[in-house]
Amino acid sequence: MIDDVIRLIDRNGPISFFLGAGFSLGKWDNQNGKRNGLGTGEELAKFLKTKNEALNTISTDNLIDVSDEYSFMNDSEFRGELEEYLGQGTIQSSHKLLADIIFDLDEPKDSVLTVNVDDLLERAYREQHGKILKVAKRSDDIYTGGEKTYLKLHGCISEIGRAVFTTKDFITVEDNNRLFDKLKSIFSERSIVFIGFGMADIDILRMLYRVRPEGGFTKPHYWIVPKSKNWSLYRERNYTREFHINHIDMTAEDFLQKLNDHLKKKKLLNP
């Protein structure tokens, strides 16, 4: 299945990488007993609860629940803690690999979308290629597009006050018809490669149903995620039937490494 993606790239077919939270997840360090970089939503919720003792009354570690409560108490403090946490993120190999792929593809318009608000991909791109990645934030011209390479659908750490974390934030995004019109256009014109999303991610499922045209997607899409012990064959089949999404049983790093190796080899053969 990965060969289909490679052939699509070789034909200059329109393709976009859609990044979820798992893409920026830091690796777990068994020696130190902590994660090297950004953690899961649950780990972020636990971090926030250590920052204000009043949050200890919340029994859940659900990120939206904790974000709502903290925002109700003191939104400015809540956003400040988010900024501190995200600022401690470290560039992972996946960021470096995707930065190289974007560069080798000559920074095509709308080639990367994300619901993440960290700046790790931008930092990796700047460090490896000495260039500023063209980014559209939610507060910028993301809806009309321009010539931006990277579309950050939920905002950015640089504008943490407008980043999407609370129920109110998510409703604001869901009510934004201009954003979904943009997504409908991208999904109808391009093949989407999902990286960093679990197959059971309810938010991405809701988005897919909203952007799917009446006749279904005509472009093939791809979901990069290794099978887990809780893998659902029925869910996989439904995604293929409903959304024309093909599953590729690989880690994000292995998938991106193979694409990167192919592009580097192609560049050597066709300088």
For residues 74 and 164, state if they share a domain: no
For residues 74 and 106, state if they share a domain: no
For residues 100 and 135, state if they share a domain: yes
For residues 125 and 214, state if they share a domain: yes
In a domain, 110, yes or no: yes
Query: Three-state DSSP class for 79?
Result: helix
In a domain, 70, yes or no: yes
Please report, to the nearest 10 degrees, the dihedral formed by the alpha carbons of residues 100, 104, 110, 112 taken in order: -20
What is the domain count for the chain?
2
Q: Which pLDDT score is estimated for 167?
A: 97
For residues 51 and 163, state if they share a domain: no
For residues 221 and 265, state if they share a domain: yes
For residues 128 and 56, state if they share a domain: no
Query: Three-state DSSP class for 244?
Result: coil
Q: Which pLDDT score is estimated for 229?
A: 66
Q: Which pLDDT score is estimated for 247?
A: 94
Q: Which pLDDT score is estimated for 33?
A: 74
How long is the chain?
A: 271
Residue 100 dihedral angles phi and psi, to the nearest 5°? -65, -40
In a domain, 155, yes or no: yes
Q: Which pLDDT score is estimated for 28?
A: 81
For residues 47 and 132, state if they share a domain: no
For residues 22 and 58, state if they share a domain: no
Q: What is the pLDDT along the chain (271 residues), one digit of tens a residue?
A: 899 999 999 998 899 999 999 999 998 877 777 788 899 999 999 999 999 999 988 899 999 999 999 999 999 999 999 999 999 899 999 999 999 999 999 999 999 999 999 999 999 999 999 999 999 987 767 776 678 999 999 999 999 999 999 999 999 998 988 889 899 999 999 999 999 998 888 889 999 999 999 888 999 999 999 988 678 889 899 999 999 999 999 999 999 999 999 999 887 767 6
In a domain, 55, yes or no: yes
In a domain, 72, yes or no: yes
In a domain, 33, yes or no: no
Domain boundary among 70, 87, 104: 87
What CATH number should be reported for the domain holding residue 143? 3.40.50.1220
Domain containing 147 equals: 2-26+91-269
The span from the CA of 162 to the CA of 139, in Å, is: 8
Q: Which pLDDT score is estimated for 145?
A: 60
In a domain, 234, yes or no: yes
Domain boundary among 87, 108, 125: 87
- The pTM of this model reads 0.94
Looking only at the bridges linking them, the beta strands covering 150-152 and 135-136 are parallel
For residues 16 and 70, state if they share a domain: no
Q: Which pLDDT score is estimated for 214?
A: 87
For residues 126 and 221, state if they share a domain: yes
In a domain, 44, yes or no: yes
**For the chain, where are the E strands, in sequence order?**
15-19, 27-29, 34-36, 112-114, 135-136, 150-152, 191-195, 221-224, 245-248
For residues 82 and 209, state if they share a domain: no
The span from the CA of 58 to the CA of 64, in Å, is: 12
